[in-house]
Structure 1
């Protein structure tokens, strides 16, 4: 009996992949996470503040007492109610939970993958570009078309282009990140209303992604409360990642009860672990601590913007999130040069210059602590 060589095994695996794994999946790239060991990590819009020591101890005791041998129980509904109260959820709305907003985005695409008749176009997902990569990825993984509508040169909504695309393409879902990622800006409220109205006329669901709400000067929830009839097709998504619990992985989506109930049917059972919901409940009980952290980051954002705008060869855009988008001037590839220079000095940011033509020579900087921002500014200045 002969034994297969590593080459034989690799050939067999490759043949199996070629036969059984979707071709579009084979051509995709997995979501890349930068190695941040030993770095000042300012690339992923995380809250840089840890829990105070006394809260660490209290949470540890609480988590240690959980029944890990049991599936998650009705306590998850306590979290749903706590989040509804915290967010000020409107009457007639319900709320569903996801393992981060990423899961909610995937579940919404799955729920909207309506079979089409011969000759009809596939359901589509539409979003402005540049934007959060998971909107397009969720469409691709679900076999839906993705329609990207470029923003203006100043990263504002191109309202005529958005309205025209929605009217012509009749997408199943329109995503509007508010504020947007990676540009960090908050779009004009009147522009948002016009796009939301066009989507309603087209029979589209609008998903407004407020991941960065703790740092934003406005929320679209106020518009929804004031005009519920005009927003009966709107779902509003948030996450506790930017609240300060990125490692917990918990997102939530609010919307009209009947609509949320349909999307909730495709949610896996027990998708929120006992650790997820107990950490989130604990955090909401100490919301004042996280609110103070958000206030500090907003103050640091103002300081960072002022310092960036004093640097020659750097353009910094206004931000309503815990990140700042900058563009580097100069010949060649200044964004890559500065990114490499900052990394060599122990500061990790995000090079977004290849994500979309509108982001040419742009870096995205997460707002950190006062010390982290000082180190980032020093590394940036030395790398220019």
Structure 2
């Protein structure tokens, strides 16, 4: 029997749906201006780089993570303004938390498997985590202008009774921050069927409001709501640190499926260091927000740009005649952006651009103009 035969037989042990999937693709970015993944463009000042390096170099990385994780949880709770009675769950980025939520709720339900529901187009990890963990994913289309279709959401929740309903606030890739009354109506609908609502606030540093305000104002009405955030957009995309805030009675159960040492000593201490310098990151977020509307205005003035949507995040969504061609032409000019056309029919010929520094935005605009 050949090696190829052995491998072919061994591959049959891997789930057929996994073998049929496409892996998450990260575009090579060496030598390019990277404007495709909504990263904070600012690095630490040199003096803080040195302090952080010295701090990390002195850590006992021969030991497993310990009680310093509790220090990090307290700092995150204070930073976010967590409601009374809350608990925190830490994840290796929000991605791991999404996986843990699916894992914890994947159980037989009335009529078949447990369900996860989200408005779409939305974050690709929601349906992916549902598929991998054995939940059925229910997609509810947004309107043509990427608003929540409240009647459709309410009807789908009543029909499918999802274990988890995701609301990205703001949404990715549309950068939409939906009306509070519509979002609360969705949360109320989930309360009627007995489920969890996860408010995904990955882009909170760039938004005009947070759902944590509503959680404090009406705690009973939002007692089944979990607030998920990440430090990736805060400025630590490379450190991989996400967190979930929710009622301690719920978070305690979710925490049981978390790997015991999922947050490394290095990630933990990097996050603690960053939160100790929170004002610096707040200044960076403010600078990015200040560049957002000028970028949108400039995009609207470019011939060939058919539509630009408002943004409450550090990204801008626009439509052109041929997004695939525009992306390739921009890459040839040294600028990497995201073509999101294949994600959903509503995103036909749409590009998603990161809001960067003034200089980065100018280079991106010039490349787009030439590409169209």
State the TM-score, normalizing by the size of structure 1. 0.95
- Whole-angstrom CA distance in 1 between matches of 2:124 and 2:215: 26
Aligned residue number for residue 328 of structure 1: 320
- 1:260 maps onto 2:248 in alignment: no
Aligned to 1:292: 283
| Deviation per residue, 1:292-328 (Å, 9 max, x gap) | 1000100111110110111123111000000000001
In 2, Cα distance between the equivalents of 1:270 and 1:337?
44
Indicate if the aligned counterparts of 2:303 and 2:369 stay in contact, CA closer than 8 A.
no
Name the CA distance, whole Å, in 1 between partners of 2:49 and 2:178: 37
- SS of equivalent residue, structure 1 residue 49: coil
Once the two structures are superposed, the pairs formed by residues 49-128 of structure 1 within 5 Å of their partners are: 49-116=42-109, 120-128=111-119
Could you list the runs of 4 or more consecutive aligned residues of structure 1 that deviate by over 6 angstroms after TM superposition? none
Match of 2:20 among 14, 27, 43: 27
Of the three residues 283, 295, 301, the one matched with 1:304 is: 295
User: Hey, what's the Cα distance between the residues in 1 that align with 2:18 and 2:345?
Assistant: 24
Unaligned runs of 5+ in 1: none
2:164 maps to: 173
Structure 2 partner of 1:344? 332
Separation in 2 of the partners of 1:327 and 1:200?
37
Superposed CA RMSD in Å reads 0.9
Structure 1 counterpart of 2:311: 319
Q: After superposition, where does 1:174-213 map in structure 2 within 5 Å?
A: 174-213=165-204
Q: Which whole-Å CA distance do the structure 1 matches of 2:62 and 2:360 have between them?
A: 41
> Map of 1:236-247 to 2, 5 A cutoff?
236-247=227-238
Gaps of 5+ in 2: none
Give deviations 1:271-301, integer Å, cap 9, x for gaps.
Answer: 1000011000000000011001000100111
Structure 2 counterpart of 1:377: 365
**What is the CA distance between 1:204 and its match in structure 2?**
1.2
Which deviations, in whole Å up to 9, do the C-alpha atoms of 1:101-151 show, x marking residues without a partner?
0000000001111234xx732100000010000000110001110000000
> Is 1:228 matched up with 2:211?
no
Secondary structure, aligned partner of 1:354: helix
Match of 2:269 in 1: 278
Q: CA deviation at 1:268?
A: 0.2
Rounded to whole Å, the distance in 1 between the matches of 2:260 and 2:8 is 33
Superposed CA deviations along residues 135-183 of structure 1, whole A, max 9, x for unmatched, are 0011000111000000000000000000000001000000000000000
2:30 is matched with 37
Deviation for aligned residue 1:264? 0.3
Partner of 1:15: 9
